Chains A and B, each alone.
Chain A
Amino acid sequence: MKMSKRSPDKDDRTAASTKNISLPISRVRLIMKSSPDVCNINQDALFLTTKATHLALCSFNHGLGKESNSLSYSDLANTAEETETFHFLTDILPKKILARDYLKSLEEMQQEEEAADF
């Protein structure tokens, strides 16, 4: 299925002004194409992926920001860990710990290893 090739910008804008879509289809296509082994993407599949991403973002952010009236990185990292369907995000949204806590736990691990060697 071919979209109008003459004016790709017009199509993107049309997609943006369509009630339910606000993500630029061309950019989504770019990301999809960067995935290894992907050859072609049907127009409907592209639309669905764009729409699904929108839904996922809304779902992810839903309910956040109510108590503190702000949205911080930690809120996102926590949501990723606490919500099963968003577990796939824990790698790119790792929880942050204080450097001194990290160094402390490193020390403890080393001590345990030394103890085990004996």
Chain B
Amino acid sequence: MAERPEDLNLPNAVITRIIKEALPDGVNVSKEARRAISQAASVFVLYATSCANNFAMKAKRKTLNAGDVLAAMEEMEFERFLEPLREALEVYKKGQKGKKEVSEQKRKDKDKKTDSENDKSREEEEEEARMEEEPEADNEVEEEEVEN
């Protein structure tokens, strides 16, 4: 197991946000309660993982998959989560597929360009790609210029 348990906790800000979502407005949450919820979340993850892993091992697999996690939820008597989880997974998988297609398309376009153009244009084009991949760096540069 890990040597530093605090690293296995979820960030406070995120926990606070989730608590705020679940509770009515203006409820005071003690520091102790917040820390306890954070620890409860970690314990949940561990319990679910251990349970899911049992299913994977039974099937002689070394990789946990979606089915294992869903089976774990049922085992843990959280059947009420199964439907929302399945729906969320569909949305997630579509999103992943879309992202993959977009980045594959970009790569294809890049390849086409570099094949047909000469060295000068290739330099310009590589700079463009760098700007695309690091929009934040660009923003920072712009801000500095504005201040100056």
CA distance A20 to B78 in the complex (A): 18
A42-B63 contact in complex given A55-B84, A71-B30, A76-B33, C-beta closer than 8 Å: yes
Quote the shortest CB–CB distance from A30 to chain B (angstroms): 7
The reply to whether B27 and A69 form a contact with Cβ atoms under 8 Å apart is yes
Q: How distant is B18 from chain A, measured CB to nearest CB, in Å?
A: 5
What 5 A-B pairs come out closest when comparing CB atoms?
A65-B27, A61-B22, A44-B66, A40-B63, A39-B62
B-contacting residues of A (Cβ < 8 Å)?
1, 4, 6-7, 18, 20, 22-24, 27-28, 30-32, 34-45, 47-49, 51-62, 64-66, 69-73, 75-77, 80, 84-85, 88-89, 92-93
> B residues within 8 Å of A by Cβ?
1-2, 7-8, 10-11, 14-15, 17-19, 21-24, 26-30, 32-33, 36-37, 39-50, 52-53, 57, 62-66, 68-70, 73, 76-78, 80-81, 84-85, 88-89, 91-93, 95-96, 103, 133
